[in-house]
A = this chain, B = another copy of it.
Amino acid sequence: MTLFATADSITAARLHAEAPAGYEEDASVDAKVAEALHIAAVFERADRFDVISNQFDFLPLVFSRLTTTPVVTTVHGFSSERIVPVYRAYDDVAHYVSISDADRHPDLTYDATIHHGIDVDAFSPGAGDGGYLLFLGRIHPDKGTATAIEVARRAGLPLVIAGVVHDAEYHRREVEPHVDGDRVRCVGPVGPRDRDRLLGGARALLHLIDFDEPFGLSVVESLMTGTPVIAYARGSMPELIRPGVSGHLVSSTAEAVAAVGGVGATDRAACRADAVARFSSGRMVDDYERLFADVVARGPRGPHSRRVRPLG
């Protein structure tokens, strides 16, 4: 396996680097030039590989008809609807992977949904005995920070808010006035060790999002520590949370408050076991390997069978 990435990448694979480091760290590098050289380097060597796994958005798509090596493209999201036309233009030759069923675009044909997987060992089982609820993520209306504050208050539990401020005006108006260092505490962004401890000690994670989130990494991180998640039933949440096993899907603040009341009954070991089974990096790797083998078995690109059923 060869990883095409910047030279400072840490990998067990063979590394091919066109750039020493990320272009955001080097003002002498033009982003468009760096991207073009990076992607071209892959396709100029395409015949050495059985399959190309594209995690680089749309630019590799436009090279994909110039090689017989199949290109499997994970669609991590569309920065705007204006990006969709290029995905549509390559739908016939592309092998698209969605990161959740909820995130699929109706115009595109997907080979599979493969949920993200994370490093199980980075999360230890927690006792959930800290006596607080947790908000983990960017402080932004999308993430429902203010809703979490309201639910915690009505549930009579303190709230810990961990994450960076992503919308300063929202933070100033909707969050900061409630922060008293006691009932509502802000701890800023947290590293892996503090994150593990904060998650493991929480009664529940409040994930009362105000958008159709394609995937929720903080959700599966929480589940890995055994801490259940109370989430709005939007986007990928129904795919991540097993109601009654690993949390609750709600549709109002009142339901969320009620769910906090019931969350003490969660079997934290079962919650963690479900997360380990469904969201480990090992499971993700297995899914990709199975898909790559399937794509290769179908032979070089050509008029091959499309509209393969999703794995997920």
Q: Are A36 and B82 in contact (CB under 8 A)?
A: no
What are the residues of chain B within 8 A of A81 when measuring CB–CB?
Answer: 28
Chain B minimum-CB-distance residue to A28: B82
C-alpha spacing A65/B81, complex, angstroms: 31
Within 8 A of B (CB), among A164-209: none
Indicate which residue in B37, B61, B65 contacts A86 across the interface (CB closer than 8 Å): B37
Indicate which residue in B28, B39, B66 contacts A43 across the interface (CB closer than 8 Å): B66
Describe A's contact surface by its main secondary structure.
helix
Q: Are A30 and B66 in contact (CB under 8 A)?
A: no
Q: Are B86 and A62 in contact (CB under 8 A)?
A: no
Assess whether A13 is interfacial by the CB under 8 Å rule. Answer: no
CB distance from A247 to the nearest CB of B (A): 37
Assess whether A59 is interfacial by the CB under 8 Å rule. Answer: yes
Known contacts being A63-B63, A66-B67, is A85 close to B40, with CB within 8 Å? no
A residues adjacent to B (C-beta < 8 A): 28-30, 32-33, 36-37, 39-40, 43-44, 58-59, 61-63, 65-67, 80-83, 85-86, 89
List of 9 A-B pairs having minimum Cβ-Cβ separation, nearest first:
A40-B62, A30-B82, A36-B62, A66-B66, A33-B86, A44-B65, A37-B86, A30-B83, A33-B83
